[in-house]
Structure 1
Amino acid sequence: MGTLIKDAWEGNRSIIVLASRAKAPAGNVAEALVPYLTKTQEAVKAIHGLRLDRDWDRHLKAVGEMLACLSWILFKPPQQLPSAMVKEALGSAEFWSNRIRKDFKGKDETQIAFCDNLKKAMTGLIAYIEEYHKPGLTWNPQGISLEEAAIRLTDEATPAAEAPATRPKPPALKGDAASGNVGGLIAELGTRKNSDGTSAATGLKKVTKDMQTWRKEYQGSGDAPKPAAAPKVVPKATPAKKTPLRGIPIFEYQDRGFKWIIENQTAESAKKESPDGVLKVEISDPKQQVYLYNCEGITVQVKGKFKSLVIDTCVKTAVVYDTLISSAEMVNCKKIQLQVTGICPVFTIDKTVGFLVWLSAESVPVSSFTTSLSSEMNVSYPDGEDQKEIPIPEQFVHKVGDGSMTSEVSDLYH
């Protein structure tokens, strides 16, 4: 684990070095940095994937909270100050560190030192950020482009042994030749012999007056320099589609809050968790919750009865689950699909475009829907041997009367 932690911090250091040499990229800075986060992301992913003995569970969670602070390079106002973000991560890490201190106080000073060093690293990072990067990652206004700085940084890391061999220098001219004297140059050439004994100057073509372009005697022979070719018009490249900013993919259970966390997952990252790309959650306690954030193109399967489901800022995400005790909530989402195999009493849909839920026969009479600022919502349910789909109304007719406002669903839905 120590090597992985070192790799994660070194990945962040390389980005800071890049910023010190490059000017801030145009557009979204966070998106421009995504290709250079690979080393940090892989290290953090490997740490989250470690399967240690349960005695080290709190240590692993403390390290996980500490590594979350490495995302500070992506933060800037008005989103959040980097130092404030790291302070929040420090509070979360201290939650687990204090438990470790309680368990090992007076028993193992090595574990206490682990907690102290964890805190020291994070407080040191806060001091560094507040001194050099308080409003966000500092760039070099006189620097080169980010891409060029990355190439140069890679070249510097190449071992010297891999550098091309130095070409031998040509023999130095002597005497007048070295001083630029033309006569001395000819004499020097005369002393140099070819393999057949002829002078190195043999065969040189004499330039006559009619071949010198600046003289009036010039005849315009074929020896004149050719005019430069017209520059080729390079078609303008089509700008690449911007990749949305995503943090480090997370798929884990947190004891604090009894919550399953699924964040920043995509179809590609989900395949690293499961061969079929389906993220499977096994519920062991009805108090547990499932929380999805900033995911795209994934499918989640939840087995067991659990408390609640929250889907926040997700796109093209599908969730299949059994029974919910409380509610399923969607906010700031696009194209969400749910399938209920058990019972879900309440659905809350807010600022969502594109929602489809398949209800089970037993959930139909008990399910209710609360919507706001949402559109393209549909409910599918069994109707005898067929499956029926109906829209959730988006248009209403409001009337004022007797000192109150009454609302009815538009005739479009009748």
Structure 2
Amino acid sequence: MYLQGSSPAPYIQKMISAAEVYANKVKMEFEDKDPIHCEWVDSYMYLLQQVHHYVEEYHAAGITWNLTGDTPENFADANRSSVTSAKPVSSSSTTSVGGGSSIPSPPPPPPGPSPTLDESTVKHASVAGDMKAVFRSLNIGESVTAGLKKVDQSQMTHMNPGLRGSNMVKDIGSKKIDYPTPTGPTQSSFNKPARTALEGNKWIVENYSDNQSIVISDTSIDQTVYIYGCKNSTIQVKGKVNVVTMDCCTRCGIAVDSVVSTIDIVNSRSFAFQIFQITPIITIDKSEGGQIYLSRESLGVDILTSKSSAINFLFPPAEGTTGDTDFTEIPVPEHFKSNIVSGRIVTMPV
């Protein structure tokens, strides 16, 4: 990717920032399903970072060439002569090397597997033996019924018409065994510990509950913030970061200074999100009951929503406005009307 252009390092950094958007979507989808996809994405992002470091150190202004090197023809001839001069390894028991020492030949192959019995023969013999035992027991005569249980008169249907209504005969001599009812795991066993950690270039904030003082201050432009599984908590992200994602959160408030790429809100309920400076894109998916506060710098944001309801955007009045300085609240449309115009579907909010 750095073969073109006179400044490949900044170009690679832009591609890394763009790839992180899709990498985060893969992680959100497969984090609880199949972690191998998350590991692959982390390895790929690490590879891109290493490529960026290498290009920045050795090819900052483009690919550098060895101006004092040999011609391609001489280089190819040198490699061809080195290959043809190599001696093949002898197939005898030993091979001479240098000053007379020898290398022993490899050991013989391992012995074959031990003989096994034919399962079909054994199965046929066992079945034949069982059938012979059955015929021998039938030829005993009258004593063949000696081991049968005697039926009491109270269990005979022809003598008790009340038993004919059901096809089951009650066993008087049997006792009912009360097995213990298995109990499911308690709710506390599913609770995971809350943590805030920096893994590579990704801040992880997860499993907080009733915490109003979570602050991430040591941030940089190439880092992402992933907030997951928090309830009734407030998280503040200071500085400029690349991506901020809120996933499966309820009654949470998020405050960020500035975002380079996008803000993603997924599977969240009753949340509030405030941007103090600027963000280019806000995506909301499968969420409801959200209040998003914009700054004057972020009024040109692109808003993408899907499968969401009760989403409201609030923004301050224009500069120089006198009088009422409260935020203006506008809901995101949820009802639409579509028409077919000139072979195309035209959709308008209603």
Task: Name the structure with the higher strand share.
Answer: 2
Higher relative contact order (CA 8 A, sep 6+): 1
Whose radius of gyration is greater, 1 or 2? 2
TM-score where L is the length of structure 2: 0.46
